[in-house]
Amino acid sequence: MQTIGILLPRSTYYETIGFDLFNGLKNNLNETGNDSIRVVTENIGFGSEKQQCYRSAEKLLLEENASIVIAYIGQRGAQLLRPLFLAMNRLLIVVDAGANLPHEADYCPNILYHSFHNSLGAWLSSKMAIADGKKTAGMITGYYDGGYLHTLATTEGFIQNGGEIKFNVATGFKSDTFSMDDLIPHLQNYPGSALLTLFSGDFVQWYFKELIRIFGVGNTAVYLSPFGMEEQMLADAPFPGETTKGVVTWSRQLDSEKNRHFIQTIETNTNKTPTLFSLMGWEAGLLVDKIFRLQSELGIKEITPELLNAIEFESPRGTVKLYPKINTTYAPMYNATVISTENNTCQLRIDGTIESIPAHLDELTSIPLNDVETAWYNSYVCI
C-alpha cells in the first residue's frame, strides 16, 4: 500500500484551508480509484515555524514512509525541506499560491511546484491594463501582500510593456488602519491611472469598501491578481463597478464538464462550496495518480526528470503540464471581470482564455532578481 503525506496549513481568513485541501485530495483519490492510498496529515500552522514544518515533513518520510509529500508552503519553506527530500530521494509537491516569482527558487529534481501562479496572473493583469490603453498606474498593496515578489511581477508587467508606475500605496495590516485616503492625491495628479492591486482575503473586501466610499462605484480602473479575484472572498465584497478586472487561475464560472463535475463532487460529498484550495487538493490527487501511473509504466520507483516531464492531465481549469525549467506546473489562465450579484456583492464573468502560458512564463522568469527576496516565510494567505 502506498502512503502519501500532506502538510496542512491554517489561515485566519481562510479558516477552512486545511479542510479544503485535504478533502479536495481525498475526493480526487477516490475518483481515480486510488482510495487504497493511505493519506497521512500533519499540521504546519502558518508555515512560518521552521521547526514545526521540518519535523512534520521528517515524520511523514521517516516514520510514515510517505513516498510523496504534498505541502501548502512557499518557496522558502520548500528550501528548508530541500536537503531532507534530496537526502531521502523522495518527492515534495509544493501546492503553491505563486505569490513569489517562480524563479526565486532554484530548480530541484525532488521538488515539484504545483503553482496557481499569482505572480504570473499579476504580470498578465498589468499587461491587460496596457492593452486597455493605460499609460500610468500605481501599485496598491498592503503590509502583508506587499512582502511577496508578485509586487515585482506587477510593476514590471506594466513598465516592460510601455507603462509608467507613478505611485505606490501600501496600507496597514488591520481593518482599523486600512485606508485608501492616500490614493486621493495620486488619482488627482494622475487621473485615470490603473490601480494594479495585490490583495488577498479580507483585504479585498476592505479595499472595495474604501474605493466605493471615496470614489463611488465604477470610477476606478482596478486590475487584480488571481488571489485578489478569489470567489469565496468576492462573494462577501461590495461591488466596486465593472471597471474591476484581472486574471484568474480558476473560477466556478469556467464552462467545462471537468469543472462542473469537480464542483458537484465537492458539493455533494462535503456539503461545502469548493474553493481554490479544494481545487489545489483535487489536482494534487491528479498529480499523485499520474506519477504513480508513470512509475508503473516505466517500471521505476524513483522520481526522474523524464517522469516529471511526462506529466499532463485534464483538470477543471484545463490541461495541466510541466514547465521543466523550474519544475513548475501550469494550466491556461483566464481574463475575468468583476460583476454584480443581485445582492450587490461580487462575482466573476470569464471573458476569455489565456493560452501560451509557457511563453508568458519565459518572460516572467526573465525578470532580473538582483538578490531581492521575499521577507515572509509563511505560506501565502496563511496569516
Partner 1 sequence: MHLNEMEGKRKILVLCGGKFALGALQKLAYEHYLCGVGIGQGQESVVKTLETAASTSQLPFKHFKDKKSIAELDEWIRSIQPDFIFSISFPFLIPSEVLAYGEKKFLNLHLGPLPAYRGPMPIFEVIRYQEKETAIAVHYINDAFDEGELIFNDFIAINPTDTFGKVATKLSAKAAQVAINLANMLEYATSIPSSAQDENEARYFEFPEEEDTFINWKNMSASEIVSLINACNPWNTGADCLINNSHMKLLSATVSEETHSAIPGTVLSYKDNGKIKIACMDNRCLLVETLSCDWGIVTSEQYVKFLET
- Report if residue 295 touches partner 1, rule: CB under 8 A: no
Give φ, ψ of 203 to 5 degrees.
-60, -35
Minimum distance, C-beta of residue 229 to partner 1, in the bound complex (Å) = 34
Question: Is 62 or 300 the residue whose CB approaches partner 1 more closely?
Answer: 62
Which helix (H) or strand (E) segment holds residue 265: the answer is helix 257-270
Which helix (H) or strand (E) segment holds residue 280: the answer is helix 276-298
CA distance 309 to 306: 5
Q: What ranges in 90-182 are assigned the alpha helix state H?
A: 118-131, 150-159
Minimum distance, C-beta of residue 87 to partner 1, in the bound complex (Å) = 4
Tell me the one-letter amino acid at 251: S
Question: Is 84 or 214 the residue whose CB approaches partner 1 more closely?
Answer: 84
CA distance 309 to 362: 17
- Report if residue 50 touches partner 1, rule: CB under 8 A: yes
Question: Is 60 or 346 the residue whose CB approaches partner 1 more closely?
Answer: 60
Minimum distance, C-beta of residue 109 to partner 1, in the bound complex (Å) = 7
Q: Which of 35, 83, 173, 351 binds partner 1 (CB under 8 A)?
A: 83
Q: Which residues 147-176 are close enough to bind partner 1 by CB under 8 A?
A: none
CA distance 357 to 372: 25
State whether residue 234 is helix, strand or coil: helix
CA distance 189 to 271: 50
- Report if residue 40 touches partner 1, rule: CB under 8 A: no
Q: Which residues 87-126 are close enough to bind partner 1 by CB under 8 A?
A: 87-88, 106-109
The stretch near partner 1 (CB under 8 A) out of 53-61, 188-196, 312-320, 344-352 is: 53-61
Minimum distance, C-beta of residue 85 to partner 1, in the bound complex (Å) = 9
State whether residue 170 is helix, strand or coil: strand
263-292 mask for partner 1 (x: CB under 8 A)? ------------------------------
- Report if residue 298 touches partner 1, rule: CB under 8 A: no
Question: Is 176 or 371 the residue whose CB approaches partner 1 more closely?
Answer: 371
Q: How far is CA 101 from CA 116, 152, 197, 367, in A?
A: 12, 8, 16, 9
**241 touches 220 (CB < 8 A):** yes
Contacts with partner 1 by CB under 8 A lie at 50-51, 54-55, 58, 62, 79-80, 82-84, 86-88, 106-109
